[in-house]
Amino acid sequence: MKRNGILNQALSEAIASMGHGEIMMIVDAGFPIPRDAWRVDLAISPNLPTLAMLYEVIAPELIVEKIMFAGEVAEHNIPLYRTLRTWFDERDFAPVTYEETVGPLAQKAKVIVRSGALDPWGNIALVAGVDYRAYFRNPEISVPERFRALMDRTPFVPGASRS
């Protein structure tokens, strides 16, 4: 038996498969998942699991460089926005239209994880990143300025309190 982390085989495999720039969507119970999408359906009953539950287990295991969500979330779904701020760095937030979340983003997503959430605008696209520090560990490799800025950012610790 696996000791810790995500125990669900399908979700663990999906996270491990993510490459730089690929999209994983975490969606609500009613999301129109494209027929040919790689679907990880975790919905058990209404609000089980919640989006917050999924972020709590996914955020520590997936390097995320951009979070795309319907712009309505920040104004009209404050609890969801607060949850996103807990698990992801606001500097990586990229609000889009609701139509983009159910259309083009869903079509581009490598993986779509369905929750049981009944959460307005609860369809969030996570764009996978990389650990830039790991790539430039060798002192003989020079670091271009655009990567230096990414490496110099204070590392974001998912779920850590930020005062």
H or E, element range at 127: strand 124-128
Domains of the chain: 33-152 (3.40.1650.10)
Cα distance between residue 36 and residue 47, in whole Å = 25
Categorize the per-residue pLDDT at 150 as very low, low, confident or very high, splitting at 50, 70 and 90: confident
Q: Over range 138-163, report the average pLDDT.
A: 80
Q: Regarding predicted confidence, which is higher, 4 or 40?
A: 40
- pLDDT tens figures, 32-64: 999 999 999 999 999 999 999 999 999 999 999
CA distance 94 to 3: 35
pLDDT band for position 162 (cuts 50, 70, 90): low
Which whole-number Å values give the CA distances from 16 to 25, 138, 151, in the listed order?
15, 25, 23
Starting at the edge strand that comes first in sequence, how are the strands of the sheet with 64-70 ordered? 38-41, 111-114, 23-27, 124-128, 64-70, 93-96
Q: What is the token pair recorded at 64?
A: 């995320």
pLDDT in tens, 88-128: 999 999 999 999 999 999 999 999 999 999 999 999 999 99
pLDDT at residue 161, rounded to an integer: 58
Structure tokens that stand for 87 in this block: 């698990």
Active-site residue set: 20
What's the Cα-to-Cα distance from 52 to each of 18, 80, 119, 141, 161, rounded to whole Å?
A: 21, 8, 11, 39, 16
* pTM: predicted TM-score of the whole model, two decimal places: 0.92
**CA-CA distance, 48 to 116, in Å (whole number)?**
5
Q: Which residue has the higher pLDDT, 132 or 102?
A: 102
